[in-house]
């Protein structure tokens, strides 16, 4: 090989090396640009989801709607198979909701990862948690937990729950720090939305609650009576109305004072509340008068309930300046459809029965006269 050929070979080798280096640099630059593009797209996606979820949360006043929005938002934001919202009351798990529907009464114990999040108020990421103690007892339909990210929901320096996502999709690496930042941002929105929904519930409750006794008020009673009569009419279920009146309440107030009278009304309300089922409906109708709706209750059973209430109140002892005062009630009972078929008719017949109980000597249960 002459000198000219050697130079050409050296030149070609150098050129090839330069081309390879240039192609490699171009490839690396392309990969970096692609990574940046993917990161930018992921950031835009997260910001869009956070904005959309924030708008939904801002318009939600119902706790269940807020929770459903958080479940969907957390899952899509983190590309997770599962999501959950755990709400606490102090150190106790209050409610637990999952993206797979009702948790069937399951409340995971606040141990391990969940306990760390609540106590340290910091996010936790982990993998390979199929048998982690914090998730034992989940219904069989829930997939095994393979990777998890949990962040605290903090409201004014108080931890009120956690947002949880599990099983990162499309990646064997689990959840990333970017997922953590995004879920933390959603947790901030969650705290404000949950507070607003709780405040709305409290305002709604005040609007339908009697301030003295804690029972429902007259307006709530009238609305519920109308609704239950409609339901009973559609499905053919019996409905009973009890009207209670404290006997000689004016004399009680004149003798013991209005504060003692208020204590007596609260005691009557508690006696009524403790004597009926959770599905029944008790209200302060006005003054010293109370109303009770017994749902799907036949006449004989309703009379038994009324007599139980009467006896319970007869046995009450009201403390007044070191002494004990007694009260009794008269109760009128009317039934749908036997005594009336509409709201006004049922109220009128229950009032008639109450008047009969008063006329017969008070402290007793009565029903309307037949054919009246």
Q: Is the bond preceding residue 171 a cis peptide, omega within 30 degrees? A: no
Residue 104: per-residue pLDDT: 52
Residue 43: per-residue pLDDT: 67
Kindly name the residue from 162, 180, 288, 352 that is annotated as catalytic: 288
Q: What is the dihedral of CA 49, 52, 58, 61, to 10 degrees?
A: -90
CATH superfamily of 40-205: GAF domain (3.30.450.40)
DSSP string, 47-66: HHHHHHHHHHHHT--SHHHH
Instruction: Check for a shared fold between 40-205 and 218-366.
Output: no
Nearest-angstrom CA–CA distance, 64 and 70: 10
Decide which of 3.40.50.150, 3.30.70.270, 3.90.1150.10, 3.30.365.10 is the CATH code for 218-366.
3.30.70.270
How long, in residues, is the chain? 372
Say if CB 332 and CB 354 are below 8 A apart: yes
pTM (two decimals): 0.64
The tokens for 22 are 């240039």
Residue 33: per-residue pLDDT: 66
The tokens for 315 are 């046995």
DSSP string, 131-193: T-GGGTT--TTSPP--EEEEEEEEETTEEEEEEEEEEETT-SS---HHHHHHHHHHHHHHHHH
> To which H or E segment does residue 269 belong?
helix 258-275
Residue 131: per-residue pLDDT: 46
Residue 138: per-residue pLDDT: 57
Which neighbouring-strand residues pair with 83? Answer: 165
Domain regions of the chain by residue span: 40-205, 218-366
* Per-residue pLDDT in tens (0 to 9) along the chain, 372 residues: 577 767 677 767 777 777 777 777 777 776 776 666 566 656 676 778 788 888 888 888 888 899 999 999 999 899 899 899 999 887 788 888 888 765 555 555 656 777 888 888 899 888 766 544 455 555 555 677 788 899 999 998 899 999 999 888 876 678 988 899 999 999 999 999 999 999 998 888 889 999 999 999 999 999 999 999 999 999 999 999 999 999 999 999 999 999 999 999 999 999 999 999 999 999 999 999 999 999 999 999 999 999 999 999 999 999 888 888 999 999 999 999 999 999 999 999 999 999 999 999 999 999 998 765
Active site residue 270: no
β 289-295/281-286 pair status: antiparallel
């Amino acid at each position: 090989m002459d000198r000219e050929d050697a130079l050409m070979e050296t030149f070609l080798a150098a050129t090839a090396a330069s081309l390879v280096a240039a192609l490699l640099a171009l490839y690396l630059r392309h990969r970096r640009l692609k990574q940046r593009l993917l990161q930018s797209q992921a950031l835009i996606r997260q910001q869009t989801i956070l904005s959309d979820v924030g708008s939904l949360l801002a318009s939600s006043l119902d706790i269940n709607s807020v929770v459903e929005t958080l479940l969907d938002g957390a899952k899509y934001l983190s590309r997770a198979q599962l999501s959950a919202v755990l709400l606490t009351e102090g150190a106790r798990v209050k409610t637990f909701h999952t993206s797979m529907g009702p948790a069937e009464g399951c409340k995971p114990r606040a141990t391990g990862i969940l306990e760390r999040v609540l106590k340290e108020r910091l996010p936790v990421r982990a993998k390979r948690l199929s048998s982690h103690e914090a998730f034992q007892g989940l219904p069989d339909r829930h997939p095994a937990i393979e990777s998890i990210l949990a962040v605290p929901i903090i409201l004014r320096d108080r931890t009120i729950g956690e947002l949880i996502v599990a099983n990162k999709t499309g990646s064997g690496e689990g959840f990333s720090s970017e997922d953590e930042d995004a879920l933390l941002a959603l947790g901030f929105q969650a705290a404000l939305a949950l507070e607003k929904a709780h405040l709305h519930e409290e305002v709604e409750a005040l609007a339908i609650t009697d301030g003295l006794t804690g029972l429902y008020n007259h307006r709530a009673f009238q609305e519920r009576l109308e609704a239950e009569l409609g339901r009973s009419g559609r499905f053919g279920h019996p409905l009973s109305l009890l009207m209670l009146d404290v006997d000689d309440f004016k004399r009680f107030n004149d003798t013991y004072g209005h504060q003692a009278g208020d204590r007596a009304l609260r005691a009557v309300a508690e006696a009524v509340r403790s004597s009926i089922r959770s599905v029944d409906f008790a209200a302060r109708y006005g003054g010293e008068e109370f109303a009770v709706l017994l749902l799907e209750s036949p006449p004989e059973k309703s009379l038994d309930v009324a007599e139980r209430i009467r006896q319970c109140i007869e046995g009450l002892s009201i403390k007044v300046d070191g002494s004990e005062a007694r009260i009794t009630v008269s109760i009128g009972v009317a039934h749908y459809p036997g005594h009336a078929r509409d709201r006004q008719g049922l109220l009128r017949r229950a009032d008639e029965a109450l008047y009969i109980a008063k006329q017969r000597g008070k402290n007793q249960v009565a029903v309307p006269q037949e054919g009246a």
